[in-house]
Structure 1
């Protein structure tokens, strides 16, 4: 199913061939954002903190999309004054992916302050660049709710993860009890701050947010990219450390390629103010194990898992599915296909 080409249902707002900025181009999500934008017919300028360490990106995208379509530039300090003045020059759209990457955070206020400074710098630079027509911000589904398989929950565009903020700020909870609540709190507060900037500054460009949940799917360059969620699936396959299964509980998933296509579609929205959940369907690690067993029946040493339950969250899938269809993809990539392609990518390294 995923082999469907990118085909716009309507002429795109940003003409094909235009230059798009993608921050954090070396990560799992960022690299697929670049890949899908190039596949759609755009040129891409990707930013990384260290260009020398990420030179493999230029080779990767030249091999996949030809010469002259991808440009790599270095932004070592995302929050430095003027850090984004040069990267935004001449770009028609911005996909902002880079941000807080540490899952376990000791100082929430410091992390929020650093991220807001970086994002406000990027937004200010975008506002000053007349060519920018669209800005797509990457948040997280965790900015809207805390997944809990034991609690039925309804999530809407207006949902915010107040629970995570309360937990992160509770002086009576230990770091172990807080878990990843501080990370969720940072994601929540930073997204809220960006919306406040939009309300205050009223930029000429459209501003919309993508909120992916647990990201599955293939790693474009498994020899050079960190494992991310793929590391959990890899450990289930190989019988490695499974402690992350208690942290990333049963919830919704999205294939990273679908996320990339959401960026392509969201860049071309005529409306502003959308929060688009990247939620294709529910998953559990037990289901992931079952899929791996069916894919590799010759492997007899899979470690059986405890029952991790099944998510009971209802969230909005109509809006993101409409965006996928606007770029020629009728349905979400299935969990089975996503795990298959993910496993093949890490086994090829």
Structure 2
């Protein structure tokens, strides 16, 4: 059970928190940690028929708290969020509509901004909402490059990715930067909305890195998102993709889920960007960890491509986790071990 070191959480236990995209990797851990902390959760999903595993799973894990699943299949529909936010004490916005491949960032922004604004406005109009957390991306701050020593601050933006995407660079030169630029510009727009509208709720953003760790229901939820990349490495699949990804930072699933709780309930957390970056990683290093865990398995050997040198602003997030009783960040080794337990059969 989560035990805050402070006496009066800003949101009382027993309150209901809305989590959007609740069936996803990050969001499901936010749900889990909120229920563990004694909160009820209303989770939105696009298709409830594909998420019937959720209520039984979380009821077994946290029988004293309640999870309600509601359908929001069209984020842009008029009034889509009004019923979802009704009566909740806080909103954790995790759902997004854009994948890693962004052919046209302006078109994607035109599609994504209106429904994010509708969610923010619905929260502003609901008097019960005391806190709002928006999920951004580490890549809204910087482009990983292990050859450079970079110092990031809380308010560093990936302006370089925006500049390159707006230039006449070739698609090959742009690479994955359109996604980075999209996440940068979207988060900046949301912060502009907060400054302009000045809602009464606390507002913070969380910027996860590559998320690795425990998967809550491997059988029904699957080994999804970036945890699936660990499974690919174990099985020797999609190695060309993994070899293209530079050394950077990892966010542990449970650390990240707990940070949402901490940002919601810790007094004084407002208008901050929070970085749940728990440890450095590279795919060659993850391959070494898997080989150590499973020496009988033929794990691919990837060429060592260095180690990230970035100085990152993750101390504030670690401080918030300690405020809920956790003793610092989870190590890369423990994150990989927890992830592998979901797909390696004894």
Q: TM-score, normalised by structure 1?
A: 0.95
CA distance in 1, matches of 2:277, 2:65: 34
Q: CA deviation at 1:280?
A: 1.1
Give 5+ residue unaligned stretches, structure 1.
none
Q: CA deviation at 1:217?
A: 0.2
CA distance in 2, matches of 1:318, 1:145: 18
Aligned with 1:80 (options 72, 77, 81): 77
**Match runs of 1:200-215 below 5 Å:** 200-215=196-211
| Aligned residue in 1 for 2:258 | 261
1:31-54 per-position Cα deviation (integer Å, ceiling 9, x unaligned) = 000000000000000001111111
CA contact (8 A) 1:180 1:247 kept: no
| Aligned residue in 2 for 1:283 | 281
Greater shift, 68-77 or 267-276, is seen at 267-276
Aligned with 2:179 (options 178, 183, 201): 183
CA contact (8 A) 1:104 1:179 kept: no
**Match runs of 1:1-349 below 5 Å:** 5-10=1-6, 11-66=8-63, 69-174=66-171, 176-225=172-221, 227-269=224-266, 270-299=268-297, 301-347=298-344
CA distance in 2, matches of 1:230, 1:106: 25
Q: Quickly say closer, same or farther: Cα 1:164–1:247, change in 2 above 3 A.
A: farther
CA contact (8 A) 1:218 1:342 kept: yes
CA distance in 1, matches of 2:216, 2:65: 19
Structure 1 ranges of 4+ moved more than 6 A = none
1:83-115 per-position Cα deviation (integer Å, ceiling 9, x unaligned) = 100000010011110014411111111211222
Q: CA deviation at 1:120?
A: 0.5
CA contact (8 A) 2:35 2:65 kept: no
CA distance in 1, matches of 2:101, 2:114: 20
> SS at 2:342's partner residue?
helix
1:120-146 per-position Cα deviation (integer Å, ceiling 9, x unaligned) = 110000000000000011111110000
Q: Quickly say closer, same or farther: Cα 1:329–1:48, change in 2 above 3 A.
A: same
> SS at 2:157's partner residue?
coil
CA contact (8 A) 1:90 1:131 kept: yes
> SS at 1:313's partner residue?
coil
CA distance in 2, matches of 1:101, 1:60: 28
Q: Alignment RMSD, CA only?
A: 1.5
Equivalent residues, number? 343
CA distance in 1, matches of 2:98, 2:321: 26
Q: TM-score, normalised by structure 2?
A: 0.95
> SS at 1:320's partner residue?
helix
CA distance in 1, matches of 2:303, 2:110: 39
